[in-house]
């Protein structure tokens, strides 16, 4: 066989491997960018849901004592200022602790009152926030796992940073058992 033919075959093979490598790299980077955008979108949705709680809780705060209103206002301010998921989770736990006595007091209000409707709206908002939290955490877990796998791990840091999970400490919620009234 002619040595020039062997050289051309090797050069052609290297060019084909280079093209395949470039296509895989570009496709993986695009996939990581899309996944990072999805995680960011879900985080924004979760943060907006959490921050809507103040407007929903207004009827409960109207009947609260000055100390409870001040505590709730501080908790809501901390929630609005918190940016990373860990800080937002701590602030969310504070909001839950501040609202818990007000929600329990609203349980004694007659059905149809503003406080009872606010309690129902807060329960629905909590359910929505839990669903959005699960969506965000699932997307963040998927992004973090993909960033650890080869070949994505080679350039994952330049495309998308690993994301923290949003986990609210529910220890305070479990400390007091639920009350059942018939």
Question: What pLDDT is attached to residue 28?
Answer: 86
For residues 154, 155, 161, 165, the Cα torsion angle rounded to the nearest 10 degrees is -40
Per-residue pLDDT at 27 exceeds 80: yes
Domain boundaries, the chain: 3-163
CATH class held by domain 3-163: mainly alpha
- What SS3 class is residue 96? helix
How far is it, in rounded angstroms, from Cα 18 to Cα 30? 18
Q: What is the pLDDT of residues 53-91, one digit of tens each?
A: 888 888 888 887 888 888 888 999 998 898 888 888 888
- Which of 34, 46, 37 lies closest to 167 in space, CA to CA? 46
Terminal CA-to-CA distance of the chain, rounded, Å?
A: 94
Q: What is the pLDDT of residues 111-167, one digit of tens each?
A: 777 777 888 888 898 899 999 999 999 999 998 888 888 877 777 666 777 888 888
Going by pLDDT thresholds of 50, 70 and 90, the confidence category of residue 17 is very high
Residue 112 backbone zone (phi > 0: left; psi -120 to 50: alpha; other: beta): left
Specify the pTM.
0.75
Residues in the chain: 182
Mean pLDDT for the chain?
84
How far is it, in rounded angstroms, from Cα 42 to Cα 16? 39
Cβ–Cβ under 8 Å, residues 181 and 109: no
- Percentage of the residues of the chain whose pLDDT score is greater than 90: 26
- What SS3 class is residue 107? coil
Going by pLDDT thresholds of 50, 70 and 90, the confidence category of residue 175 is very low
Question: What pLDDT is attached to residue 101?
Answer: 84
Interhelix angle 53-62/85-106, nearest 10 degrees: 30
Q: What is the pLDDT of residues 30-48, one digit of tens each?
A: 888 899 899 999 999 998 9
Residue partners of 102: CB distance under 8 A and separation at least 6: 57, 60, 61, 63, 64, 68, 72
């Amino acid at each position: 066989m002619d040595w020039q033919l062997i050289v051309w075959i090797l050069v052609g093979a290297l060019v084909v491997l280079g093209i395949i490598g470039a296509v895989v790299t570009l496709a993986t980077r695009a996939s990581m960018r899309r996944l990072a955008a999805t995680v960011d979108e879900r985080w924004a949705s979760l943060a907006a849901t959490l921050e809507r709680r103040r407007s929903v809780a207004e009827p409960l705060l109207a009947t609260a004592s000055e100390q409870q209103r001040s505590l709730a206002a501080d908790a809501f301010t901390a929630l609005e200022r918190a940016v990373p998921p860990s800080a937002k989770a701590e602030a969310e736990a504070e909001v839950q602790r501040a609202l818990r006595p007000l929600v329990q007091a609203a349980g004694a209000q007659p059905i149809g009152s503003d406080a009872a409707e606010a309690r129902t709206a807060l329960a629905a908002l909590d359910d929505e926030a839990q669903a959005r939290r699960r969506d965000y955490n699932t997307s963040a877990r998927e992004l973090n796992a993909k960033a650890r796998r080869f070949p994505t791990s080679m350039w994952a840091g330049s495309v998308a940073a690993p994301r923290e999970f949003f986990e609210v400490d529910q220890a305070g919620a479990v400390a007091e058992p639920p009350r059942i009234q018939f």
